[in-house]
Amino acid sequence: MTVVLISCAAFVATLVGGLFALRFRDRLHLILGFSAGAVAGVALFDLLPEAIKLGNGWHDASIVTLFIALGFFGYLILDRLILLHTHTDHEVTPYENRKVSPRGSRGAFGALTLSTHSFLDGIAIGVSFQASTIVGIVVTTAVLTHDFSDGINTVSFILRNEGSRWQAFRWLFVDAVAPVLGVVSTLFFRIPESFIGLVLAIFVGTFLYLSASDLIPESHHRHPRALTTIMTLLGAFVIYAIVQMV
């Protein structure tokens, strides 16, 4: 029941992020900067120690680090071949009503792949709770901030590619439902204890990649870097404080 309620929180976080993108575009870099630090902080301060701890007795440290690398480079391949994370100089006003064009189709495909990514976020939440409640809480904290930025990215992607506000709202809803489905899917399978550490190691790699290649560049894009850097450090510090408290 807990993970189901958390999946609903992920749904709300994604919706709020998308609505924020439509209303406060000039403040997005601060949210994205904080999200970048939070995602990296979860990988370094929570998932990595937990992966090593759970893998101890089952696997050598070299195997755990191998799976971290697999998560990082595997997501890199997925990102380059399937997912679309682009940074363009073209800004589209949210209230512009444009006709659908080939760029609009590209925007829809990009929103679909971002929704797929949100589905994987939901799986990360479910698997982390299989490891322990504490790990689940910390991972959920990072995923919620990331889902907020996913909502922002989905709306921005549609609008940058000549989509209408109505299309942006429709894809935002799809993206919001995706993590819910991801969390619910983990209720139907359980990962063996000997493999949970390795699965967490994969998420360490993917979270580090998302922070370094997607969130940090997006937060710094065409914005003052001093304040966004402070927000990134703040995001990492908040996660560190949460880990220490729990």
Residue 200 to residue 46: CA distance in whole angstroms: 10
Distance CA 47, CA 182 (A): 19
CA pair distance 30, 34, nearest whole angstrom: 6
Q: What's residue 20's pLDDT?
A: 72
C-alpha–C-alpha distance, residues 243 and 246, integer Å: 5
Q: What pLDDT is attached to residue 88?
A: 43
Domain locations in the chain as residue ranges = 2-20+31-245
pLDDT (0 to 100) of residue 163: 67
pLDDT of residue 27: 67
What tokens were used for 52? Answer: 């090593």
For residue 31, how many C-alpha atoms fall within 13 Å in the half-sphere facing its CB? 22
What local confidence, expressed as pLDDT, does residue 149 receive? 66
Find out whether 162 and 103 touch, Cβ atoms under 8 Å. yes
**pLDDT per position in the chain (246 positions), as tens?**
566 777 777 788 777 777 776 666 666 677 778 778 887 887 898 888 888 887 887 888 889 999 999 999 988 887 777 655 444 444 444 433 444 444 445 556 656 766 777 787 788 888 888 878 888 877 787 777 667 766 776 776 676 656 677 777 888 888 888 888 888 888 888 888 778 888 889 888 988 987 888 777 777 765 667 888 888 898 889 888 877 876
- Which helix (H) or strand (E) is 185 found in, with range? helix 165-185
| Nearest alpha-carbon partner for 110 in 92, 141, 87, 133 | 87
Whether residue 147 contacts residue 13, with contact meaning beta carbons closer than 8 Å, is answered with yes
Q: Tell whether pTM > 0.75.
A: no
Residue 25: predicted pLDDT:
61
